Each structure stands twice: as C-alpha cells, then as structure tokens.
Structure 1
Amino acid sequence: MRPPFDPELEAALVRRRDEVVRALEAHEIVGLRDRSTTPAAVEEAAAGRFRTSVLTAVRDGRPGVEVVLLRPAEAAGPVPWLLHLHGGGLVTGTAWDDVVPLLDLAADAGCAIASVGYRLAPEHPYPAALHDAETALTWLVAHAGELGLDPARVVVEGISAGGGLAAALALLVRDTGGPALAGQLLTCPMLDDRNDSGSARQMAGHGAWDRTANATAWRAYLGDAVGGADVPAHAAPARASDLSGLPPAFLDVGSAETFRDEVVDYARLLWRGGGAAELHVWPGGFHGFDYFEPTATLSRQAREARRRWVHRLLARTAPAVAPRIVEGQR
C-alpha cells in the first residue's frame, strides 16, 4: 500500500503523464537533457523585476563555473541572495533550470538569485558538482561588493538533486571553514544513495522519480561506490553522523514520494545535532509537485511556507541599523 495522492495533484499526473519522469534508465539521460529551461524563458519571466547577467566563477586549479545572477532591478544596496542548485538527478539540468519558480519568492524577500551551472554525471562524477557549487559560493562571496550582494546573508537552496547538493555544500563549508551560510532551503532533497528506505520501496513505480530513476542517478554520480560502506557524507548527506554546527534549515517533501523517509530522517538528525530545522511533509504530494503543478492548492501552501521561512530567517540576519539622531535630541 502507498499513501494516496492529493486529488488535484493526481489529476495533474494523469493529464500530463507524458511529462512525468518516473523511471529513468541510463540510456535516457541524454534525451532528458533536451527538456531544460531556456535562457529566454527565464529572462522573460524576470523582465522588469530582475537584472540578469551570466558570470564565470573561477578558483585555482578548477574549471570555471557558469553562474546566472538575477539581482532585484530596483535594489539600492547589498541584498541577501539565494545560491540556487538546480534539480535533475545530478545528471541533467542547467543554471537556467528551476529559476522561474523562484522569482516570486526572491522578489517578495528582496533577494538576488545566483544559479550555478554545475557539471553533470556520468561525464563528471562526484565530486565535480560539489566542487563547482563550492567554487561558485566562494567566488561570489569574494566578489559580493562589486556584485551588490551581502556576503553574510546567503541561503543555499535547491530542489531534488540540487537540494541534496545544497545540504552537501553546507556540510563541506562547515568542515573546511568555508564561507558562512545564513540558511539552507532544501526542497524534496535527494540525500541517500542507499535508495532503500520504506518510502523508496513503497513508491516504486508510482508518482514521479521512483526508485529506478534514483538508482540510475546515484550510479551515474558515484559509480561502483554507490550503496557501499565508504560513500562520504559530502557525496550523500544522509551518510553524515554529525549534523551539528549547520545553518538553520527548511526541509519539505511529499508524503507520497521516494524521498519522504530520508528527508524526515535528515531533519531528525539536524535536531539531534542541536540545529534549527523546519520540516513539512505535504499530504498527498509527489516528488516536485509544486514545480510540476504550481496552481494546485497544496503547491501554493508549500510555496507560502517557504516564503514565510525565508522572511523569518532574513529578519533575524538583517544588519543592525543605527538609530537616527534628530537635532535637539543629543
């Protein structure tokens, strides 16, 4: 037995069945890459609200990394920003993917978006994607002043594989003393290469991105090491035994998806490590439901929960404003 889908979302699964990625085999990866979002689609959605630029982040000894920066058009000073890591199972996607759904959140919170075009597996297995994310973060923080970004108010964010990569980046910079993060926003994150949770088995063959697709993606990223005893937490964050010292986290996941149990377990580990974590399990949600069907009631509720969390986080990290002294009050 599996949990039921939300009726509104189930209707979308049926109506748009040809767009659903449920099972994925290795030979299908190249074809899936043809479905990436175009730059024109992002620029059209951002027009009038954001100024868009394409940058190259560099670090000694590593390849340059494409970063698409969307900065609020009317912002005067340094702004907080989302370091966005796109989804796609670590095997597909570009820096332009999953950006359009973020624009309303960023505009509402007064944030910029810096989206990272990390290298993809299987051509570039672990740790290529993580190194690219780290390069982008480090370079952007170093150049924050000239880019109009606040180096102390960066939230690493991602959906699906990008959510897992965001969690891995938070672990990496904690362990190496890299740039400090204000928060981590993890939407249905892909965290566990072992792919054997109760929800992974329960949802096999159902919804979106099932256990077969997940196995294909992890094998592309980790090769023969997948599922073994030596996979590091920087590759699969669910392997971490210590989640202390991490920035506040927001995690959400559907009740009817492969990643449900690993996301719930990750939140539990964050709490055990003394961290701040807000967890939402959306009843009847399948993997990536609010990106797939954004007008559904449950999708709107999920986006609103993220919006509120971002506002609370940024309010807590806002720079102090010196009191204004009025003549005669000295």
Structure 2
Amino acid sequence: MRSSHTFDPELAAALAMMPEVDITDLPAARAAQARQLAAALALSDSSGVDVGELLVPGPPGAPDVMLRVYRPRCRPRGTDPLPVVYGIHGGGFVLGSPDVDHDWNLLLCRELEVLVVSVDYRLAPEHPFPAALEDCYAGLCALTEHAAALGVRADRIALWGDSAGAGLAAALTLLCRDRGGPAVCFQHLCSPALDDRLETPSARLFTDTPVWNRHNARLSWDAYLGSDVRATAAVPAYAAPARATAGALTGLPPAYISVMEFDPLRDEGVDYAHALTSASVPTRIRMLPGTFHGAWAVEHAAVIRNATDEAIDVLGTALGRR
C-alpha cells in the first residue's frame, strides 16, 4: 500500500523501489529481508575497517551472545583506547541482525575512528521480553569487563539504536542505571519504539505509511510482550520506556532523539524527549520533515544526507571525536 502523505520529493520517488514490509507472515518477512540483506552486503565497502565477531556469555541460562566488532584500521589495537558506539539494530523485535546496520556501522567506524559493536540479540516471538534486552545487557557488560583487552574506554560508550533497537537502547540505559551496570555516556535514539499502547495521535493516524504502520507496530508489540499483555498495566518500563514516570528517568545519560514526520512512532519519540527533559536529562530532538519510518535507507536524499551528517556529529561530540 502507498499512502498519499506529502513526502519529501526524493523520498517519494524512491518509494517505488522500496519493498513493502508486512510481518503478518513472519517467516516470509524474514526470508525476504534475508535476501535483501545478502544483496546489500555483497556491495558493502569495508575499506579501512576490520570486521570480526566476538562470542560472549549470555544472560544466566541463555545462549552466548554474538557481537560484531568494527575496528578502524588506522587505530590498531595497542594504541590509545577507543570510545565505543554500541549499536542495536531495528526490526520490530522480530526481524533483523547486525547485517541491518552493516553499512552504517562501517561509516561510523571510519568517520569517528571509534570501535563500533553491534549486538545480535534474540528475536520475538520465539524469545519474548526480556530476552532481547538481557542479551543487549550481557553484551554490554562483557564489552566493559574486557575493555582493556579490547582496547576500549569503558567510560566512553554511547548507545545507538533504530526503531525497536532504539527502544531497546532506551531500556538498556534504564537497566544499566538500576543495576549499577556499565556507565553509558550517551543515548542516540532514531525513530524509537517506546510505547506498546499505540494511543498517540501519530500511532492512530498512520495506518497506511510505507515500511511501518500501525498494523505492523501492533503485531511487533504483541510478539514481544504477548497479545494478552500489550497495553495492560503489566508492561514494565524496561519493556516500553514510555511507561517510565518522570522520577524514574532521572540520572540517565544525555539523549538525542530523531523522529520521522509520517511515522506511527513519531509522537512517542517526541513525548519521551519531553519526559527526559522534565527529568533534567539533557535532550535534543529532531523531526525530519517529509520522512517516513525507514527513510534512512534512501541515502541519496538530501534530508537523509543532512540527518546522517548530524547524527555522526552528535555521536562524535558525545564521544570526544568532534
């Protein structure tokens, strides 16, 4: 389905080449994504970056967690410790792997000369909440515990996430604070999925937007939480950070939140930014005009190029690279 919303002209022109996303048939959606990612990876340029994988202990009683590690070749191990971007991919809690953000992670690694680590967390519905969050936490703990061996600065770790990954990043900052875990210095949230209730104006309005819409959002939360749990009082803030009270947000690291104009998740991102600000957490928010969820994929569009430059600058500043 293609909507009639007033998209940025460059994005609108690209829509015909963008596949529809429908997670009603999840095996089919996963197979389609795997084909698309395989084609994209074949064209990736990894020059200047060493890419490897690290298997670390998972949560108690759970499998090990794979971390994909991107190290700038210009900063070999043994030189000054590197700041870290700890990335969490999107996919509605039910799709994806580190392959989703592979090109973005390569770009961050090259541009900022930092270590980029992408966590391969378990997916719902096979592994519902809190599996994904606990995997992300276990990976981050392992990273900081072995900071010296990996040549990284445990005091300079920024979280980055997109969509469901941004929701997990927001939840991870809460978990790290409450457990006395790794000290996250910054949270960068792109189009975050934060609210299972789907009651905001944008969640109610955008039923026909490309890539992501109210239908997909509902299915993703049902898979992650259980259809009998979603939108009930039983959902904790660790699952849906929008449920955190202002008092529960104090002491979190500074945040940058970007949202897309025509996205069912738009208003929950805006609301979360306001809640963080009310809790005295330094927060910046940016709405990208004429955009829709997943518009990051249209890399040639000016609005996306500008947003990419700003995202790199924001992360670089947070990590002392600007």
TM superposition score normalised by structure 2: 0.91
Q: Is the 8 Å Cα contact of residues 70 and 105 (structure 2) preserved in structure 1?
A: no
| CA offset digits 1:193-225 (Å, max 9, x no partner) | 111210012111122210000111000000021
Alignment-derived partner of residue 137 in structure 2: 134
- Partners of 2:83 and 2:231 lie apart in 1 by 37
- Confirm or deny that 1:71 pairs with 2:71: yes
**Structure 1 position 42, deviation (Å):** 7.7
- Partners of 1:56 and 1:243 lie apart in 2 by 32
The verdict on how the C-alpha distance between 1:232 and 1:314 changes in structure 2, with shifts beyond 3 A counting, is same
Question: Which segment is superposed worse, 294-303 or 69-78?
Answer: 69-78
| CA offset digits 1:47-99 (Å, max 9, x no partner) | x3111111111154332101111111121321111111111101011122212
- Confirm or deny that 1:302 pairs with 2:307: yes
- Partners of 1:257 and 1:175 lie apart in 2 by 31
The verdict on how the C-alpha distance between 1:39 and 1:49 changes in structure 2, with shifts beyond 3 A counting, is farther
Name stretches of at least 5 consecutive residues in structure 2 with no aligned partner.
none
Alignment-derived partner of residue 6 in structure 2: 4
**Structure 1 position 243, deviation (Å):** 1.4
Alignment-derived partner of residue 61 in structure 1: 61
**Structure 1 position 105, deviation (Å):** 2.6
Alignment-derived partner of residue 166 in structure 1: 169
- Partners of 1:302 and 1:29 lie apart in 2 by 31
Instruction: Indicate the RMSD between aligned Cα atoms, in angstroms.
Output: 2.0
Alignment-derived partner of residue 109 in structure 1: 112
Alignment-mate amino acid for residue 12 of structure 2: E
For the residue of structure 1 that corresponds to 2:45, the secondary structure is helix
Alignment-derived partner of residue 328 in structure 1: none
- From 122, 125, 137, give the equivalent of 1:119: 122
Alignment-mate amino acid for residue 16 of structure 1: M
Name stretches of at least 5 consecutive residues in structure 1 with no aligned partner.
319-330
Alignment-derived partner of residue 249 in structure 1: 255
Which structure has the bigger radius of gyration? Answer: 1
The verdict on how the C-alpha distance between 1:254 and 1:103 changes in structure 2, with shifts beyond 3 A counting, is same
Alignment-derived partner of residue 225 in structure 2: 222
Q: Is the 8 Å Cα contact of residues 85 and 160 (structure 2) preserved in structure 1?
A: yes
Alignment-derived partner of residue 262 in structure 1: 268
Alignment-derived partner of residue 324 in structure 1: none
Alignment-derived partner of residue 325 in structure 1: none
Q: Is the 8 Å Cα contact of residues 2 and 256 (structure 1) preserved in structure 2?
A: no
**Structure 1 position 315, deviation (Å):** 2.3
- Partners of 1:74 and 1:282 lie apart in 2 by 33
- Partners of 2:206 and 2:264 lie apart in 1 by 6
Moved over 6 A (4+): none
**Structure 1 position 106, deviation (Å):** 2.6
| CA offset digits 1:127-181 (Å, max 9, x no partner) | 0000000000000100111112111111111111101100010111111111100
Alignment-derived partner of residue 184 in structure 1: 187
**Structure 1 position 2, deviation (Å):** 8.1
- Confirm or deny that 1:197 pairs with 2:203: no
- Partners of 1:276 and 1:2 lie apart in 2 by 36
The verdict on how the C-alpha distance between 1:43 and 1:244 changes in structure 2, with shifts beyond 3 A counting, is farther
- Partners of 1:198 and 1:130 lie apart in 2 by 27
Q: Is the 8 Å Cα contact of residues 66 and 95 (structure 1) preserved in structure 2?
A: no
- From 293, 298, 312, give the equivalent of 1:287: 293
Q: Is the 8 Å Cα contact of residues 167 and 186 (structure 1) preserved in structure 2?
A: yes
For the residue of structure 2 that corresponds to 1:100, the secondary structure is helix
**Structure 1 position 102, deviation (Å):** 3.0
Q: Is the 8 Å Cα contact of residues 156 and 181 (structure 1) preserved in structure 2?
A: yes
For the residue of structure 1 that corresponds to 2:285, the secondary structure is strand
Q: Is the 8 Å Cα contact of residues 96 and 115 (structure 1) preserved in structure 2?
A: no
Alignment-mate amino acid for residue 29 of structure 1: L
**Structure 1 position 311, deviation (Å):** 2.1
Question: Which segment is superposed worse, 36-45 or 183-192?
Answer: 36-45
**Structure 1 position 262, deviation (Å):** 0.3
Alignment: residue pair count: 310
TM superposition score normalised by structure 1: 0.89
For the residue of structure 1 that corresponds to 2:172, the secondary structure is helix
Q: Is the 8 Å Cα contact of residues 54 and 66 (structure 1) preserved in structure 2?
A: yes
Percent identity over paired residues? 39
The verdict on how the C-alpha distance between 1:16 and 1:38 changes in structure 2, with shifts beyond 3 A counting, is closer
Alignment-derived partner of residue 27 in structure 2: 30
Alignment-derived partner of residue 321 in structure 1: none
For the residue of structure 1 that corresponds to 2:139, the secondary structure is helix
For the residue of structure 2 that corresponds to 1:89, the secondary structure is coil
For the residue of structure 2 that corresponds to 1:212, the secondary structure is helix
